[in-house]
Amino acid sequence: MLDLNAKMANKKVTIDDYEIIFILNIRNKLRIPSEISKETGLKIYDVSRALRGLKSKGLIICLNEADKRARLYELTKKEKKF
């Protein structure tokens, strides 16, 4: 099993990022930003910023980029192994 802290230290992941990774991983289902916001208590703009960062780091993927209102996110297959 991978050491989450060591892996994330190289990618400069914030505490908000950890919360989002946890939410995406624990329930193992697709999420839209508003659901993540409700489950974490983070403001929607903080969730959106964190999702963009996680996506740019290759930790999550957006399954429907063209949909501006309800983008679906999930962990990459590699990250699901945590």
Domains of the chain: 4-81 (1.10.10.10)
Whether 9 shows a pLDDT value over 80: the answer reads no
Task: Count the Cβ atoms, other than its own, within 10 Å of residue 31.
Answer: 21
Indicate the range of 16-20, 32-36, 43-47, 51-55 predicted with least confidence.
16-20
Report, as an integer, the average pLDDT of 8-29: 75
Task: Count the Cβ atoms, other than its own, within 10 Å of residue 64.
Answer: 12
Count CA atoms closer than 13 A to 24's CA, side-chain side. Answer: 30
Band of the pLDDT at 26, cuts 50, 70, 90? Answer: confident
